[in-house]
Amino acid sequence: MPPLSFEKKFGLNTQQTGLQIIPIVIGCIFGEQVSGPMSDYFMKVYRKRRGHVCPTDRLWLTYIGFFTIIAGLLVWGFQLEKAKTWNLLHAWKL
């Protein structure tokens, strides 16, 4: 659905629409690099608190991911609806 909305609303061609995936790739790489150490830190704190942990205790961290995904999609959708142009330099006032 996102490529269709970019094409219809802003008149982007196929290449320009494909370039919109770059932030998603960067976010995934960043998330992968941060999630491992964050999960290990969570388990270390949890082990100190309870004295033992099991592998399923890591599943509590998925709630953070679920919340950020839902919030990100909502913000993206609302901002896309309000947008008149799709020019990052204009949006950042550079």
Q: pLDDT, tens digit, for every residue of 1-39?
A: 556 777 778 877 777 777 778 888 898 899 889 888 988
Q: Which helix (H) or strand (E) holds 2?
A: helix 2-10
- 31-70 residue pLDDT tens: 889 888 988 898 899 899 988 888 888 888 888 889 988 9
State the pLDDT at residue 78. Answer: 86
Predicted confidence band at 76 (pLDDT cuts at 50, 70, 90)? Answer: confident
Cβ atoms < 10 Å from Cβ of 1 = 6
Half-sphere exposure of 78 (CA within 13 A, CB side): 6
Which range marks the domain in which residue 41 is found? 2-91
The whole-model pTM stands at 0.63
Contact 58, 39 (CB under 8 A): yes
What are phi and psi for residue 12, nearest 5 degrees? -80, 145
Domain tally for the chain?
Answer: 1
